[in-house]
């Protein structure tokens, strides 16, 4: 195949590109510049699109003997990821920017350009497995459960999966990848993994959002509508949060209280007991299928609501353009804006963005 290898400057994408070369493919490396104001150097595992990352990617491509380019996707990244992140928080939802980046940048904008240039597939260092089944290509979990990234890839459609390549999917552990990188002489062999939100390198999401959204004081209410505190901006809170509430009125039972709901329209935050976080149902209208769509409008599956959450057995049903999921045991603190990924065993069925939740203990305020 003609393969376009997305090279972030990290060890995973470098080894993935190397394996693509070893497999006999015609490989070209590309580094995506996602920020026009990227820092000069990384700070440990924080940072995005730094000069250091681009240089690391270029060194790896040179060692592999493949052509290398830097493509400026900063405008698309700003519009489709950063601006979406801000607007979702402004609306009181909790988005996952990694999902949007995979959906809109790596497997939409990048893949579209790759296909226009005559490439057969985009290769990345994601830990997930592709299986060619009777009904087309399927997305499955990686062999290494600890590194499995099928959740953040759940946004991929069947057409996109047909043009993807994940050489690391069957690798038993990240340690194997690092050892292989060292053996190949790749300088990124021990480079720290990136984490947190890449475009907020200092990790201060609350401060970053305050600059983008603006801080406006509002009230924190309990489930009965009583004022128990104030805040400097509802955007700084997310469902399930316990720390940083600074409540002035203790709960009658003395137990900790958690954020149950964020209401951006009137800039209020609702708090209550932990048991009120138990979620009996989630639903959303923005959904996609990772390959073939389910044959029935109601089906059993497992649902994962966070990148590293345990999958929960559930019953999913499709009605009037909406998918609703009822777990066999309640989810714990699901916020609108989160992504729910549906599985059949190791296979990803599809995903949807949570628009509404139903608590086992409904909020009365």
- Please check whether residue 220 is in contact with residue 230, taking contact to mean a CB–CB distance below 8 angstroms: yes
Write out the two tokens for 98.
């990694």
Q: What phi, psi does 351 have (nearest 5°)? A: -155, 160
H helices present in the chain, as ranges:
11-22, 51-64, 74-77, 83-90, 97-100, 110-116, 158-161, 174-184, 205-213
Q: Which residues pair with 132 in a beta bridge?
A: 137
Q: Which residues are catalytic?
A: 101, 198
Q: Which residues pair with 165 in a beta bridge?
A: 123
What's CA 288's distance to the chain center, in Å? Answer: 15
Write out the two tokens for 116.
């226009």
Write out the two tokens for 58.
């270029």
Residue whose structure tokens are 């999966």: 161
Helix (H) and strand (E) counts in the chain = 9, 20
Query: Rounded CA gap, 283 and 326, in Å?
Result: 9
Nearest to 15 by CA among 138, 177, 154, 242: 177
- Please give the DSSP secondary-structure letter assigned to residue 340: E
Q: Is 226 exposed, middle or buried (0-12, 13-18, 19+ CB in 10 A)?
A: exposed
> Residue 231: enclosing H or E segment and its boundaries?
strand 227-231
Query: Rounded CA gap, 307 and 159, in Å?
Result: 23
């Amino acid at each position: 195949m003609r393969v376009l290898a997305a090279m972030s400057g990290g060890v995973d994408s470098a080894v993935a590109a190397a394996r693509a070369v070893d497999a006999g493919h015609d490989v070209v490396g590309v580094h995506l510049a996602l920020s026009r104001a990227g820092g000069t150097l990384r700070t440990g595992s924080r940072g995005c699109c730094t000069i250091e990352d681009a240089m690391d990617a270029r060194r790896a491509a040179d060692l592999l003997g493949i052509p290398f380019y830097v493509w400026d996707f900063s405008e698309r990244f700003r519009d489709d990821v950063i601006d979406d992140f801000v607007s979702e928080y402004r609306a009181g939802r909790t988005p996952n920017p990694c999902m949007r980046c995979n959906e809109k940048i790596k497997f939409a904008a990048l893949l579209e350009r790759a296909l226009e240039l005559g490439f057969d597939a985009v290769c990345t260092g994601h830990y997930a497995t592709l299986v060619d089944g009777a009904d087309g290509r399927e997305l499955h979990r990686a062999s290494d459960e600890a590194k499995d990234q099928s959740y953040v890839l759940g946004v991929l459609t069947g057409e996109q999966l047909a043009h993807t390549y994940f050489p690391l999917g069957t690798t038993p552990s990240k340690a194997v990848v690092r050892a292989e990188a060292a053996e190949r002489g790749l300088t990124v062999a021990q480079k720290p993994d990136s984490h947190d939100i890449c475009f907020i390198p200092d990790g201060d999401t609350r401060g970053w959002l305050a600059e983008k959204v603006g801080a406006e004081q509002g009230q924190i209410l309990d489930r009965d509508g009583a004022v128990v505190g104030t805040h400097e901006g509802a955007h700084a809170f997310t469902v399930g949060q316990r720390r940083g509430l600074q409540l002035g009125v203790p709960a009658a039972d003395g137990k900790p209280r958690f954020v149950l709901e964020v209401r951006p329209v009137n800039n209020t935050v609702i708090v209550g007991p932990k048991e009120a976080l138990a979620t009996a149902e989630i639903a959303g209208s923005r959904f996609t299928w990772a390959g073939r769509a389910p044959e029935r409008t109601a089906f059993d599956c497992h649902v994962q609501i966070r990148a590293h959450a345990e999958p929960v057995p559930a019953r999913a049903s499709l009605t009037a353009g909406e998918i609703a999921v009822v777990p066999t045991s309640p989810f714990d603190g699901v916020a609108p804006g989160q992504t729910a990924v549906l599985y059949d065993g190791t296979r990803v069925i599809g995903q949807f963005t949570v628009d509404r939740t139903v608590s086992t203990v409904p909020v009365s305020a």
